[in-house]
Amino acid sequence: MTLADRLVAAWYSPRPTALAVLLLPLALLFRFGVASRRMLYRVGVLRSVRLRVPVVVVGNITVGGSGKTPLVAALALALSRRGFHPGIVSRGYGRDAANGEPLQVGADDDPRRVGDEPLLLARAGYPVVVANDRVAAGRALLSGNPECDVILSDDGLQHYRLARSVEIAVVDAVRGLGNRCLLPAGPLREPVSRLRAVDAIVMLSAGPDTAPPIYPGTFAMRLVGDRLVRVDDPLTSAPASAFARSDVHALAGIGHPERFFAQLAAIGIVATPHRFRDHHRFVAADLDIAGAQAILMTEKDALKCEGFADERCWYLPVLACVDDGLITLVEGKLRGHQAS
């Protein structure tokens, strides 16, 4: 087990671990740094930049995946249906050109160049720009897409340089907030109290039953999908029942691989799991699995396997089903911004 694996196990252990306790002094230093930085923005020493259109930030206070990108896609679709013209900015975590100029993401881009999650959003039909500096990304987005009247930021809750009109924090209902300690003793990027300052908390549930809300007014979200698509032939799909056999394997290079494996099990597929790090850059050797007649993966991972996937490889597209109350809340704040 690597040090990273030991850390994650300590963060989400039901009881305090020796490793987490050992790291508490560093967590206190991290907490001081987080509080100091936020205070500098509050008193104006560091300044936030407000763009000409409202910004909705979808982020979390933990490291690792919690369903932010599917929620951004769902919000973009819902707002489009209500007359808005959304654009999306992202850091594009894990891309090669991470320190370069803002990049407009095209549907045929290389995920190594722009990032896997931004490419998914671009393929959904929305204008997407990636840059480490979300302000620079927002400006480039508006320059190239003057019709855009709202920006959705995929992640960036802690990127205070970009002023925002709406803040949404996503929490994985299964993993929760772990041991509630800050990095590196726990998974938190900011204290739990930060959740009281956001406009909405969205709980990503593993099934139809949601976990108890962390705070009143929490909204529910589920990821749904039960039909798989062949990676090398997107026009070919098959129902989940076609994979209810023993020679099926599943791989996941996402923040919480167990969520994907549980989702497969929920639609009747019990596959042999293969876990990879989040944003893992897959190579052909990763698919060299003895005895596998079907290899299932997330849509995000499939992007990085398109060049070498064979007929055994399938991905599961999912859609985020979100409480309508969240859409109404966001729309109300955006309409209020327009009126002002």
Task: Assign residue 193 the CATH number of its domain.
Answer: 3.40.50
| Residue 48 sits in the same domain as residue 187 | yes
Q: Is residue 260 part of a domain?
A: yes
C-alpha of 247 from chain center: 30
Q: Is residue 37 part of a domain?
A: no
Pairing of strands 294-298, 248-252: parallel
Query: What percent of the chain is helix, strand and coil (3-state, nearest 5)?
Result: 35, 25, 45
Map residue 19 onto helix, strand or coil: helix
Domain that holds residue 235: 227-317
Same domain, 165 and 280: no
How far is Cα 65 from Cα 68, in angstroms, rounded to an integer? 7
**What is residue 264's DSSP assignment?**
H
Sign, CA torsion 21/27/29/32:
negative
215 and 235 in a common domain:
no
Per-residue pLDDT, 213: 59
Based on the domain organization, do 158 and 209 belong to the same domain?
yes
What pLDDT shows up at residue 217?
Answer: 72
At which residue do the structure tokens 């008193």 appear?
43
Calpha distance 160→12 (Å, rounded)? 28
Category of 155 on φ-ψ map: left (φ > 0), alpha (ψ -120 to 50) or beta: left
Place of tokens 């896609």: 73
In a domain, 21, yes or no: no
Both 187 and 311 in one domain: the answer is no
Asked if the structure places residue 89 within a domain, the reply is: no
Q: Are residues 240 and 294 in the same domain?
A: yes
Structure confidence at residue 205 (pLDDT) = 84
Q: How many domains does the chain have?
A: 2
pLDDT means per 10 residues, the chain with 340 residues, are: 85 93 97 97 96 97 90 98 97 77 95 94 97 96 98 96 97 92 97 96 73 72 96 97 94 92 95 93 96 96 96 97 95 81
